[in-house]
Structure 1
Amino acid sequence: MRARSSSRPFAQVDVFGASPFRGNPLAVVLDADGLDEGTMRAFASWTNLSETTFVLPPTQEGADYRVRILTPSTELDFAGHPTLGTAAAWLAAGGVPAGERIVQECGAGLVEVRRDEAAGTLAFAAPPLRRGGPLEAEHVGAAAAALGIDPGAVRGHAWVDNGAGWCVLELGSAAEVLALAPDLAAIPARKIAALGVVGPTGTDGADGAAYEVRGFVAADPESGTAGYEDPVTGSLNAGIAQWMLERGALTPPWTAHQGTALRRDGLVHLDVDADGTVWVGGTVRVDLRGSIDI
């Protein structure tokens, strides 16, 4: 039986936007303790956002809180913009981390989030890849076909899966990335849930960005969820950064741009500590605060 609805603190957050309302929105239920599975899934479907998060008491030592990350059709072990958005909403609601950094517990384990109060940004420590290495030839062909390009246009490719299922194809320029007109129904979802594309911006990059990114999510016929393009994607950008560093393709720090094709303006800042930790950050704005009867 579903638990009786109650009023709970709620926030809607805009993550990675270079200016207000130009990033990736997120819904956050700040006190989800006691909510049953069916209610969470129904609410995540109702918000119709790429992700909705639910904040719960931690179960692992050292965590400040636990989060569940739900899409309209499934649950993710990890996702980037929900990690930063949840941390920002938790802080705005009066959350106080036990240590210098916020420590979030999620399906991928413990993820650290650090604050740069002067810059007004948050950044998460990228979790290790669950799957890396080049794509299979068959998968490259299927992905290229879904994007409407010749496989010969692909300059590089890799799995960059840190819990969200991403792979990446590298094209020759940002212009090629922005010209894509993908068939979202044809994205090869047999092995992955999403497809990322990156191309260098050259000297014309948005706000000095090193490259332009687009991320496409396959349709889910079981739930009836249509395929879509994600506005700004922290987990994909984290995986791309790890791939760039592995190849020595870029020297940190750098900035990636995403969202142009959707009239968004997402800026993702990438940096690396001396110990090799990749940090993925950007601006987070808590745009709406109140309560939700759920």
Structure 2
Amino acid sequence: MVSRRFVQCDVFTSVPTKGNGLAVVIDGEGLSDEAMQGFAAWTNLAETTFLMSPTATEADYKVRIFTPAREMLFAGHPTLGSCAAWLRSGGRPKIQSVVKQECGVGIVDIDLSGRIPAFAAPKTTVAPLPDDKLKAIMSALGLTPDRILRTAQLSNGPVWQVIELASAADVLAADSTKIRYPQFLGVGLIGAHAAGSECDYEVRMLGASSGMSEDPITGSLNAAIARWKYGSGEWQRPLTVAQGTCIGRSGRVSIRYDSTADTVWIGGQTCFLIEGTLSL
């Protein structure tokens, strides 16, 4: 057993315990795949990350991301939480105000220049949502065609089956117990709040491989949706998305688009709740 620095934090919220929890093993060097997967299953959080020295020369650190069941190439709240933990443990980026994280999809930039840290959304493949998947989701949730505005299958590492509903109320009314992993995986719902609301949209991610009824706040899903929406021209301005409402969370995702660089930025705050060491 080796003593390793460890933190547990809450991402995409300014209120501790109201975001998406993340375990970060800061000293992740030397652990086998089996050990990392086993520890992630033990924490029983949506994701657990392990930080290590980068293999890419331009990167500041490398991260590996595990759910209790599998490794992920990329995920949003582990990106922001891991970056915050790396900085808190004394990490210093090679380029001022930009952290370069190496992960399964390559190098992801995290912008530290603003009030809220934000990662650059990876490129996203947009395709039609296959009819059989759409029909299965509609049947499980009892959705009717008149409440569905748009659908797409999005891929930015994970693959998402996304359905845009007529309103945020429709999103909040969906019964998450009807969409369970592994029959379903990565079902994203989005709907607009009324004009003048605190948040512009409500998002939910059902069919989480973590075994939870739904993911509290999903940065990678929001990133894929933002790429889709800004890319189609439907979104033009900065937006705030709420997630986790149905399970008592206060997730807030800040989204903006830099048209000059064709970059979508996904921002969120991180709160630290536990800091210490573990033996692994």
219, 222, 226: which one aligns with 1:234: 219
Deviations 1:227-251 (A, max 9, x none): 5300011000001111111222222
- The count of aligned residue pairs is 277
Q: After TM superposition, which residue ranges in structure 1, 4 or more long, deviate above 4 angstroms?
A: none
Is the contact between residue 14 and residue 271 of structure 2 (CA under 8 Å) also seen in structure 1? no
Aligned to 2:107, the other structure's residue is in SS state strand
Name the structure 2 match of 1:287. Answer: 273
Name the structure 2 match of 1:140. Answer: 134
Find the aligned partners of 2:222 and 2:276 in 1 and give their Cα distance.
Answer: 31
Deviations 1:22-67 (A, max 9, x none): 1101000001111112211110000000100000110012000100
Q: Does residue 110 of structure 1 match 2:110? A: no
Name the structure 2 match of 1:81. Answer: 77
Superposed displacement of residue 13, structure 1: 1.1
Find the aligned partners of 2:242 and 2:254 in 1 and give their Cα distance.
Answer: 9
Superposed displacement of residue 153, structure 1: 2.4
After alignment, is 229-238 or 154-163 more displaced? 154-163
Amino acid at match of 1:266: G
45, 48, 56: which one aligns with 1:49: 45
Q: Does residue 29 of structure 1 match 2:15? A: no
Deviations 1:56-115 (A, max 9, x none): 110012000100000001000000000000000000000011112100000000000011
Q: Does residue 200 of structure 1 match 2:200? A: no
Q: How does 1:1-294 map to 2 (within 5 A)?
A: 5-100=1-96, 101-116=98-113, 119=115, 121-129=116-124, 131-182=125-176, 183-185=178-180, 188-189=183-184, 193-203=185-195, 205=197, 207=198, 209-218=199-208, 226=211, 228-273=213-258, 274-294=260-280
Q: Normalising by structure 2, what TM-score? A: 0.94
Q: Normalising by structure 1, what TM-score? A: 0.90
Superposed displacement of residue 186, structure 1: 7.5
Amino acid at match of 1:155: L
Is the contact between residue 140 and residue 151 of structure 1 (CA under 8 Å) also seen in structure 2? no
Is the contact between residue 158 and residue 168 of structure 1 (CA under 8 Å) also seen in structure 2? yes
Superposed displacement of residue 11, structure 1: 0.5
Is the contact between residue 272 and residue 279 of structure 1 (CA under 8 Å) also seen in structure 2? yes
Q: Unmatched 5+ residue regions in structure 2?
A: none
Superposed displacement of residue 187, structure 1: 7.2
Identical aligned pairs, as a percentage? Answer: 43
| Aligned-residue CA RMSD (Å) | 1.6
Q: Unmatched 5+ residue regions in structure 1?
A: 220-224
Q: 1:165 to 1:7 in 2, by over 3 A?
A: same
Find the aligned partners of 2:215 and 2:160 in 1 and give their Cα distance.
Answer: 12
Aligned to 1:49, the other structure's residue is in SS state coil
